[in-house]
């Protein structure tokens, strides 16, 4: 049986960065390189009904070894990596028996992974860490999850004494650009519920996430010679600045945490004749989420009353809090919690300050909490993953399968 570390090291060396500007699925041709490898590997370990569609969505089945029917469960991860940082020529470094001190990732560039800044490192003293070389991201998000799922399936295949029902696995492209669940065939997948292996540190168990929307505000101005502009010029830049100033000053990402929502202005461009603001809206509370969208509409209405409909607002809902879909079937969270505890892990149950494929899948009819994959500092050169966390994730998957059989 191939260990989870070896699998992970194989996967991260394959560049699978997605591209938000692409209209195709997958958004980059290079994602196929890992997709085809995963299909071959699933067949090699003995999975059945291994399938890949024209968009690189992968599904496979581990048949039940029971003589009675129980719910079908699934495990899902994504194989693309973030467009935020390079995933080309990933050169992972292995730090054995980490001593709790600074890790020099790249001596030439002076890039150091330090517990003085990333204090989570200290909880992994004595363990084996896999880091970057300081020039790329690592890809633990979410190639760690894929390695864990395949390793767990192989373990179950090689240990038939562990009783389990039918298990489905699914691997998706383009999660990092928000499209991972767009073409996921829930009915074809055929599970009653599933778990995404896409969380961060060991113990994370998440079934709440933000309600999310994007907003684009366009401002139409009028350019007039500044010497003769009185009562004639309409400066779109100043109106855009006014709009931003009317948003709650303390409700921004850098001043919020936990279940606190925010407005995040991430792009502003313009000139006198035209300006555009792009922002995102986030809140765990659905009523508060709707209030945030209404506030933008009120601001635009207020300014249009002054500037004669110079401002246009476009709001698009992106995803919703999966909590409302998980709570009616909360036993699926309890099973994951018990699985963690039974292998010596203290569950960390907290809301996700972001989104997950599990959110979209939950609203598509597949309740899907999120479980840790083990990595830290995703999407950048300081990313790392403890090998022991990946091994524990494998144990959790196996135990969830076992508990589902016994409890059913």
- Tens digit of pLDDT for each residue in 210-239? 999 999 999 999 999 999 999 999 999 999
User: Which of the residues are catalytic?
Assistant: 80, 175
pLDDT at 88: 96
Annotated binding site: 78, 141, 176, 198, 379
Which residues, at least 6 apart from 8, have a Cβ–Cβ distance to it below 8 Å? 130, 140, 143, 144, 147, 385, 390
Q: How confident is the model at residue 152 (pLDDT cuts 50, 70, 90)?
A: very high
- Tens digit of pLDDT for each residue in 123-151? 999 999 999 999 999 999 999 999 999 99
Q: How confident is the model at residue 1 (pLDDT cuts 50, 70, 90)?
A: low
Q: What would the mean pLDDT of 372-388 be, rounded to a whole number?
A: 96
Annotated binding site for Zn(2+): 78, 141, 176, 198, 379
Q: Which of 12, 51, 50, 55 is nearest to 32 (CA)?
A: 55
- Tens digit of pLDDT for each residue in 288-322? 999 999 999 999 999 999 998 999 999 999 999 99
- Tens digit of pLDDT for each residue in 317-376? 999 999 999 999 999 999 999 999 999 999 999 999 888 889 999 999 999 999 999 999
What topology is assigned to 211-319 in CATH? Answer: Alpha-Beta Plaits (3.30.70)
Sign of the Cα torsion 348, 349, 354, 358 reads positive
Whole-model pTM: value is: 0.90
Which residues, at least 6 apart from 14, have a Cβ–Cβ distance to it below 8 Å? 30, 33, 34, 37
23 pLDDT more than 70: yes
- Tens digit of pLDDT for each residue in 71-96? 999 999 999 999 999 999 999 999 99
Q: Domain spans of the chain?
A: 4-208+322-407, 211-319
CATH number for region 4-208+322-407:
3.40.630.10
Round the average pLDDT of the chain to a whole number and report it: 96
Residue pair 322/368 in contact by the 8 Å Cβ criterion: yes
């Amino acid at each position: 049986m191939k260990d989870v570390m070896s699998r992970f090291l194989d996967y991260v060396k394959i560049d699978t960065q997605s591209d938000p500007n692409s209209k195709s699925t997958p958004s980059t041709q290079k994602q196929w390189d890992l997709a085809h490898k995963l299909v071959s590997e699933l067949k090699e370990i003995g999975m059945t009904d291994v399938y890949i569609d024209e968009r690189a969505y992968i599904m496979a089945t581990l048949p039940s070894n029971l003589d009675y029917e129980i719910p079908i469960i699934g495990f899902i991860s994504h194989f693309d990596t973030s467009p935020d940082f390079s995933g080309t020529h990933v050169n992972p470094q292995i730090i054995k028996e980490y001593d709790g001190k600074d890790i020099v990732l790249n001596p030439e560039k002076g890039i150091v992974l330090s517990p003085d800044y990333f204090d989570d490192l200290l909880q992994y003293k004595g363990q084996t860490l896999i880091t970057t070389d300081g020039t790329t991201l690592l890809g633990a998000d979410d190639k760690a999850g894929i390695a864990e799922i395949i390793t767990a399936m192989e373990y179950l295949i090689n240990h038939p004494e562990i009783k389990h029902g039918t298990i489905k696995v699914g691997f998706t492209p383009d999660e990092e650009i928000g499209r991972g669940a767009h073409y996921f065939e829930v009915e074809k997948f055929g599970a009653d519920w599933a778990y995404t292996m896409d969380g961060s540190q060991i113990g994370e168990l998440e079934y709440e996430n933000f309600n999310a929307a994007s907003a684009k505000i366009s401002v139409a101005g009028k350019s007039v010679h500044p010497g003769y502009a009185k009562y004639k010029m309409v400066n779109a830049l100043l109106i855009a600045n006014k709009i931003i100033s009317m948003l709650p000053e303390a409700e921004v990402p850098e001043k919020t945490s936990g279940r606190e929502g925010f407005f995040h202005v991430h792009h502003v461009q313009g000139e006198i004749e035209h300006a555009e603001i792009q922002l995102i809206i986030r809140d765990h509370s659905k009523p508060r989420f709707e209030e945030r969208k209404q506030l933008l509409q009120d601001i635009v209405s207020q300014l249009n009353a002054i500037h004669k409909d110079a401002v246009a607002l476009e709001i698009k809902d992106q995803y919703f809090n999966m909590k409302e879909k998980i709570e009616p079937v909360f036993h699926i969270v309890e099973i994951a919690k018990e699985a963690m505890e039974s292998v010596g892990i203290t569950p960390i149950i907290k809301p996700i300050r972001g989104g997950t494929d599990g959110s979209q899948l939950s609203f598509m009819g597949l309740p899907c909490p999120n479980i840790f994959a083990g990595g830290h500092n995703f999407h950048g050169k300081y990313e790392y993953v403890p090998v022991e966390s990946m091994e524990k994730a494998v144990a959790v998957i196996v135990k969830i399968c076992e508990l589902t059989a016994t409890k059913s």
